[in-house]
């Protein structure tokens, strides 16, 4: 969201998505009578197999259909995982208003927020987080709190900008990081799954990150997970290793993720980038810190020919006092297109932030001197 080229691209994607989207998206799970209960993931569907015998998860699974759901549960929903019928009707009303703004802009021959930020009903969930049961992030450790408060990002209000190290990796079009890249945002929510013997590739529309995940048998996985890269070898997407559980679930464990030591001036260690959850109601700065102890376990369960339930459990004992789990519903849409991700090209915003911040501080200092 930092260049004209990117703005134009987002508009093209929004238009394509509007044309290709189905009239309604079936929920991956039925809403229980007790709205405070989260049912287990259905496990009775058996997907077709690839030519080499693995469950076939290939396809395009955009998560734009859940982009309006908050990550943490808003207070007003209490201990409920699900909306009431009345609340869902209100959510649908808001989604219809978003569609109307889009249509009005098309008729007027202009592009505005109706194209930039689209919303839909997103199902009847109150939040993406399902554990802890209260839908809230666990408390920070003392180290986690210090790192969070020291974090640097354009999402952080009233922060001075003096050099590129004052921006996170997403600001600079490098990567949104992991596991944040697996979570929805206001745009560019495409996910595409490829498979080959021994590998699953998860291709992400945002910044075009791709995760190449070796997949082995469960017994071999137990052995290989103990022989990870050295602790100083890290990537934005971490080191992932997966195995097939039963006939419909892919389990992936990821470690060696670029840590977020926000006290460092090293731009590769900004706390904002590994888990930037902007606009999803996580924390005031939209970002959380990450230590070198962070680990993510993902479970992808195909629950029907066009549906996958995706669960992500995040643990980092140095920054959080307990793990937390999010559950996302993926819906197949093989008509969804990925376009060029033009972000660096013509990006003047980093320079503009720095120039404006320096000028503002100089003006304030001059005023104080007088």
pLDDT in tens, 61-75: 999 888 888 888 999
| pLDDT score at 286 | 59
Residues of the chain with pLDDT under 70: 1-29, 95-102, 111-122, 260-286
β-pair partners for 287: 276
pLDDT in tens, 31-51: 999 999 999 999 999 999 999
Rounded CA separation 98/79 (Å): 28
| pLDDT score at 25 | 44
pTM of the entire structure?
0.84
Q: Where are the domains of the chain?
A: 4-369
3-state secondary structure 29-75: CCCCCCCCCCCCCCCCCCCCECCCCCECCCEECCCHHHCCCCCCCCH
3-state secondary structure of 285: coil
Closest among 280, 342, 353 to 1, alpha carbons compared:
342
Question: Helix (H) and strand (E) counts for the chain?
Answer: 6, 10
| pLDDT score at 148 | 82
Rounded CA separation 134/203 (Å): 32
Rounded CA separation 86/81 (Å): 15
Segment holding 243, helix H or strand E? strand 239-245
Number of C-beta neighbours around residue 35 at 10 A: 18
Q: Edge to edge, what strands does the sheet with 210-216 contain?
A: 59-60, 191-196, 199-204, 210-216, 239-245, 249-255, 295-304, 307-315, 324-331, 129-131
Asked if residue 326 lies in contact with residue 190, where contact means CB atoms within 8 angstroms, the answer is no
């Amino acid at each position: 969201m930092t260049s004209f080229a990117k703005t134009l691209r987002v508009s093209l994607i929004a238009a394509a998505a509007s044309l290709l989207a189905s009239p309604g998206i079936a929920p991956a799970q039925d809403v229980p009578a007790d709205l405070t209960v989260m049912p287990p993931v259905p496990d009775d569907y058996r997907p077709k197999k690839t030519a080499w015998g693995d469950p076939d998860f290939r396809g395009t699974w955009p998560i734009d259909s859940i982009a309006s759901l908050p990550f943490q549960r808003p207070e007003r929903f209490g201990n409920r995982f699900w909306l009431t019928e009345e609340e869902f009707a209100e959510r649908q009303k808001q989604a219809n208003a978003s569609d109307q703004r889009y249509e009005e802009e098309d008729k007027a021959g202009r592009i505005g927020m109706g194209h930039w930020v689209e919303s839909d009903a997103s199902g009847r969930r109150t939040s993406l987080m399902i554990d802890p049961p209260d839908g809230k992030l666990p408390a920070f450790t003392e180290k986690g709190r210090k790192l969070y408060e020291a974090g640097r990002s354009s999402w952080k209000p009233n922060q001075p900008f003096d050099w590129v190290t004052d921006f996170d990796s997403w600001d600079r079009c490098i990567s949104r990081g992991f596991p944040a890249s697996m979570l929805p945002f206001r745009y560019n929510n495409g996910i595409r799954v490829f498979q080959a013997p021994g590998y699953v590739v998860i291709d992400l529309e945002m910044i075009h990150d791709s995760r190449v995940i070796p997949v082995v048998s469960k017994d071999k996985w137990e052995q290989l997970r103990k022989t990870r890269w050295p602790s100083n070898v890290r990537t934005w997407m971490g080191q992932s290793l997966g195995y097939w559980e039963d006939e419909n679930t892919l389990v992936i464990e990821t470690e060696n993720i670029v840590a977020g030591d926000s006290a460092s001036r090293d731009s590769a260690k900004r706390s904002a980038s590994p888990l930037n959850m902007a606009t999803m109601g996580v924390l005031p700065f939209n970002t959380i810190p990450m230590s070198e102890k962070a680990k993510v376990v993902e479970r992808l369960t195909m629950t029907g020919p066009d549906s996958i339930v995706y669960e992500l459990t995040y643990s980092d004992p140095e920054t959080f006092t307990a793990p937390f789990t999010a559950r996302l519903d993926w819906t197949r849409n093989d008509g969804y297109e990925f376009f060029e991700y033009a972000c660096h090209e013509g990006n003047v915003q980093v320079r503009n932030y720095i120039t404006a911040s320096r000028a503002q501080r100089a003006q304030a200092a001059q005023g104080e001197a007088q």
